[in-house]
Amino acid sequence: MKKIITISREYGSGGRTIGKIVADQLGYAFYDKELIDMAAKESGLAPEFIEKTEQNISSGWLYNMMLGSSYAIGTAGAPPGTNNPILPLADQVFNAQRKTILQIAKKGPCVIVGRCADYILSSDPDTDKKTLFNVFIYADLEDRIKRAVNEYKVPADESRRIVTQIDKRRANHYNTFTENTWGDRTIYDLMLNSSFLGIDGTAGIITEMAKKA
């Protein structure tokens, strides 16, 4: 029985929803956006700023476009009026999230979506690796585009570019803060295309494997 399940996912693959279903099926705690708030409290940084810094690490234009932010590219991640260079500040945010993830994992069984949790826990000397189940969820591009348009209200005419770009940012964020490469199979116990069995079917397989292992 695996006690800590981390879910990395392509944008639009339904990975977050799948993680929530798995957590419900197993009676585990579920962490996603909540994590940001908890990390924020830890660091003393505002939650909105943590979210922006994390997502903004690679380039500003898409995120700014989507959220209507007025931050200029180049100072992406730095709040207006500050001169903080991006990396040290991003490191502060990452470290705050890292601490939070390690605390969460000590508290009890849980599902954690994104946030480099697979790396943070796998590389932590105090975490029992036998309790860990690292999952990567992906999906056919057309299904991801559909989901982005229908569920996340991404503009249809920009959807292909946005879906691809968000994944590049996720990869870039992961690769910036870890020794691993996002999506590299050696990191994960399971990589599943959610287009194959759908959201519920995919969640069912993960739950079953967590129970059997």
- Least separation in angstroms between residue 190's CB and a second copy is 6
Residues that bind a second copy (CB under 8 A): 133, 136, 138, 183, 185-186, 188-193, 195-197, 201, 205, 208-209, 212-213
Say what the alpha-carbon torsion angle 93, 117, 33, 94 is, to the nearest 10 degrees.
Answer: 0
- Least separation in angstroms between residue 165's CB and a second copy is 17
Nearer residue to a second copy within complex by CB, 37 or 200: 200
- Least separation in angstroms between residue 147's CB and a second copy is 17
* H runs (alpha helix) in 123-213: 141-151, 159-177, 194-212
Q: Are 138 and 194 in contact (CB under 8 A)?
A: yes
Nearer residue to a second copy within complex by CB, 4 or 90: 4
- Least separation in angstroms between residue 37's CB and a second copy is 31
Strand partners, 193: 138
As a whole number of angstroms, the distance between CA 169 and CA 165 comes to 6
Nearer residue to a second copy within complex by CB, 107 or 212: 212
- Least separation in angstroms between residue 143's CB and a second copy is 12
Q: Are 60 and 74 in contact (CB under 8 A)?
A: yes
- Tell me the chain's radius of gyration from C-alpha atoms: 17
Q: To which H or E segment does residue 3 belong?
A: none
As a whole number of angstroms, the distance between CA 76 and CA 58 comes to 9
Nearer residue to a second copy within complex by CB, 31 or 133: 133
As a whole number of angstroms, the distance between CA 124 and CA 205 comes to 27
Q: Are 136 and 171 in contact (CB under 8 A)?
A: no
Nearer residue to a second copy within complex by CB, 54 or 167: 167
As a whole number of angstroms, the distance between CA 8 and CA 116 comes to 8
CA 150 → CA 20, 33, 113, 121, 153, distances in Å?
19, 20, 21, 33, 6
Nearer residue to a second copy within complex by CB, 106 or 185: 185
- Least separation in angstroms between residue 204's CB and a second copy is 8
